[in-house]
Structure 1
Amino acid sequence: MPLLTRSVQTPLSIDVRRGAVAGLAALLADRRISGGGDVAVVVGPGQGQRIVDLIGASLERAEFINIEGGTLESALDLGQRLRGRNYDAVVGIGGGRTIDTTKYAASRYGIPMVSVATSLANDGIASPIATLDHDGGRPSYGVHIPLAVVVDLDFVEAGPDRQTRSGIGETLSNVSAIADWELAHRVRGEPVDGLAVAMARSGAEAVINHPGDATDDGFMTLLAEALITTGLAMAICGTSRPSSGGCHEISHALDILRPGTAAHGEQCGVGALFCTYLRASVDKAYEPRFAQLNACLKRHGLPRTPADLGLTADEFADAVEFAPRTRPDRYTILEHLDLSRSELGGRVADYADAVH
């Protein structure tokens, strides 16, 4: 008998609103994740006491663990701590580094995990991937998706604006990543998952077309939902393809060649715009998309050129040349055009002129 449907794993609950952290105990009980509150609450730097003040009284049996996450070593250390007690679940509260560290530790020891995001810097909020520093690189590891996802807009608002801008760049890069996936399908016959594409693209399109900004709760809710659905899109198809193409290759190359250049999402935004420029240079049908992405990045105050990232044109061209080595199995516009270093230098110069 043919398989007519497929089962898709998703979180039991997604809660995006102001004051969401204060409702954590009720969520754990209502969703039968932990009726008695016997959970580990992993908190990132700088937020410990505020978190305890908000939820400590309602989760009297919880153990609060403060970490400086983001590395494989910190995730392994956290896992060892979690083994010492029989928890119903582990709750990761913080930014991307804290959540990825908690996701990895929870997955390693088979403990249900709840993701509570206090920033919107990337799509790791609900993704099946944890990116952790190790041996001078930032490899990605497969993990279980969170059992529940919470985004507290009060915490997001109190955080650095740059984190939100990074999340905008990360979301917009979906457009370029999907174009790369579709290119790989046309040229190499690589299968494309239409449901994953629909989820990742709809979030990006919503961000592109929403008139608000980081001061608008409606826009921030939409951005959070776009980052969450992007993570779920990756879980659906079992690959980062819906959100990672040449745009991310360029970002990974910058992390290797020019570490500390900018936030991940900022680099991905520039990478997406440059890759879209390359597509438009060989197919004029992409010119409106280039103009659209350029305008959106500008409106939200995101970097658009190498100079905006503090790089020279040559430094950026070096990163683009190196980029395909970061994902040898991935076919994108960069591999498709296979430009020489001298050709890349000319394209980068022309790109900077086109942006302005």
Structure 2
Amino acid sequence: MPVLTRLVPSPVFVEIRPGALDALGGILADQRLSASGRIAVAISNGSGSVLRARLEPALPGADWYSVADGSLDSAVQLADDIRSGVHGGLYDTIVALGGGKIIDAAKYAAARLGLPLVSVPTNLAHDGICSPVSTLDNDAGRGSYGVPGPIGIVIDLDVVRAAPPRFVAAGIGDIVSNISACADWELSHAETGEPVDGLAVAMARSAGENLLRHPGNLQDRGFLTALAEALVLSGIAMNIAGSTRPSSGACHEISHALDVLYPKRSAQHGEQVGLGAAFASFLRGEHELTGLIVERLAYHGLPVTAAQIGFTEAEFTEAVHYAPNTRPGRFTILEHLDLSPSAIRDAYADYVQAVNS
């Protein structure tokens, strides 16, 4: 009998609207996720305290856990704290309230404890708000760990709009990079025979194309809604594919290389992958697409050259050359061209000239 359909792993609910944060308790109850209100809330040591003061009266059954940083050690500590907490780990769900580091640590902790996780981002810096991956700092630098995706997403557009603009704009770079990542996946299919999941590509690329051509800005509610929805779709695309392939190609390899080689100088993840996507598109000879990406990134104040994020031409060249080492076995335009450092330097010089022309 032919398979006529398939189950698509996705959040049970997605709430994207102004004021959603103040309705969090009601949302969890309505979704039958936590009628008792017994939840563990993971927050940062900084801005999380402000949100705790705002939400605590409406969540009387919640226990609050501070997360030091976005490291593997902090994620493990969070799991241990929740397990040995007031209720002995007997919670209905974990709520991750904060930026990407808090959400990634909480996703990992939830996986260790076998609890569902609700993602409540306070900015839109990257697609980790819905992805089945936790990116955490470790002794070797930074690692990606497979985890179950969030069971629910709650995004308060008022909270997001109040976040530092740089942390919101970075999400644009992460989503636009989907277009380059999908092109790399299709290149791998053509050159190596790697299977491509068409549904995951359609979802990830559509999210990127929508942001690439959206006329709004960071103060526009419609644009923020589109960005939030695109980040959710990108995460679901990775769930469908069972890997980060629809959202991570040469663009992310370059970003990971910058993180490894210059850990104290790396910029926002979304800023780096946006630049990586523009350069990777240029390497593929997609000059019209490169122009569109560069124009849209610049429109939102995102970097389009290495110098704009504090790297020299030589440093960026070194990162691009090192980039394939960050994802062994992944085939992108970088592995396909296998450029020498001098060829990368020349290609980047041509890219900069095209950007400035």
1:31-110 alignment, distance < 5 Å: 31-84=31-84, 85=88, 86-110=90-114
In the alignment, the residues of structure 1 paired with residue 58 and residue 300 of structure 2 have an alpha-carbon distance, to the nearest angstrom, of: 38
Conserved? CA contact 2:130–2:153, under 8 Å: yes
Task: Tell me which residue corresponds to 2:227.
Answer: 223
1:344-355 alignment, distance < 5 Å: 344-355=344-355
Amino acid at match of 2:66: N
Amino acid at match of 2:284: R
Report whether the alignment pairs 1:319 with 2:319.
yes
Q: 5+ residue gaps in structure 1? A: 281-285
Conserved? CA contact 2:75–2:109, under 8 Å: yes
In the alignment, the residues of structure 2 paired with residue 253 and residue 48 of structure 1 have an alpha-carbon distance, to the nearest angstrom, of: 30
TM-superposition CA deviations, 1:55-104 (whole Å, max 9, x none): 22222111111222301101111111121221011111000000000000
Task: Tell me which residue corresponds to 1:177.
Answer: 181
Task: Tell me which residue corresponds to 2:19.
Answer: 19
Amino acid at match of 2:292: Q
In the alignment, the residues of structure 1 paired with residue 118 and residue 71 of structure 2 have an alpha-carbon distance, to the nearest angstrom, of: 19
Pick from 132, 145, 152 the counterpart of residue 128 of structure 1: 132
State the 1:240 CA deviation.
Answer: 0.4
State the 1:45 CA deviation.
Answer: 3.0
Conserved? CA contact 2:71–2:136, under 8 Å: yes
State the 1:306 CA deviation.
Answer: 1.4
Amino acid at match of 1:249: E
Task: Tell me which residue corresponds to 1:278.
Answer: 283
Equivalent position SS for 1:352: helix
State the 1:50 CA deviation.
Answer: 2.9
Amino acid at match of 2:10: T
Task: Tell me which residue corresponds to 1:28.
Answer: 28
Report whether the alignment pairs 1:298 with 2:298.
yes
1:122-271 alignment, distance < 5 Å: 122-259=126-263, 260-271=265-276
In the alignment, the residues of structure 1 paired with residue 49 and residue 243 of structure 2 have an alpha-carbon distance, to the nearest angstrom, of: 37
Conserved? CA contact 1:21–1:54, under 8 Å: no
Pick from 104, 111, 116 the counterpart of residue 112 of structure 1: 116
In the alignment, the residues of structure 2 paired with residue 45 and residue 348 of structure 1 have an alpha-carbon distance, to the nearest angstrom, of: 40
Equivalent position SS for 2:284: helix
In the alignment, the residues of structure 1 paired with residue 217 and residue 45 of structure 2 have an alpha-carbon distance, to the nearest angstrom, of: 27
Equivalent position SS for 1:133: strand
Deviates more, 1:15-24 or 1:179-188: 15-24
In the alignment, the residues of structure 2 paired with residue 145 and residue 205 of structure 1 have an alpha-carbon distance, to the nearest angstrom, of: 24
Identity of aligned residues (%): 51
Equivalent position SS for 1:345: helix
State the 1:200 CA deviation.
Answer: 0.6
State the 1:349 CA deviation.
Answer: 1.0
TM-superposition CA deviations, 1:167-187 (whole Å, max 9, x none): 111011001000000000011
Amino acid at match of 2:224: M
State the 1:298 CA deviation.
Answer: 1.3
Conserved? CA contact 2:43–2:49, under 8 Å: no
User: What is the aligned length?
Assistant: 351
Equivalent position SS for 2:282: helix
Conserved? CA contact 1:251–1:268, under 8 Å: yes
In the alignment, the residues of structure 1 paired with residue 188 and residue 230 of structure 2 have an alpha-carbon distance, to the nearest angstrom, of: 24
TM-superposition CA deviations, 1:147-196 (whole Å, max 9, x none): 11011122212211111121111011001000000000011111110111
Deviates more, 1:255-264 or 1:118-127: 255-264
Equivalent position SS for 2:42: strand
State the 1:217 CA deviation.
Answer: 0.8
CA-atom RMSD, angstroms? Answer: 1.0
Q: Normalising by the residue count of structure 2, what TM-score does the alignment of the two structures yield?
A: 0.96
In the alignment, the residues of structure 1 paired with residue 220 and residue 338 of structure 2 have an alpha-carbon distance, to the nearest angstrom, of: 42
Deviates more, 1:322-331 or 1:49-58: 49-58
In the alignment, the residues of structure 1 paired with residue 199 and residue 131 of structure 2 have an alpha-carbon distance, to the nearest angstrom, of: 16
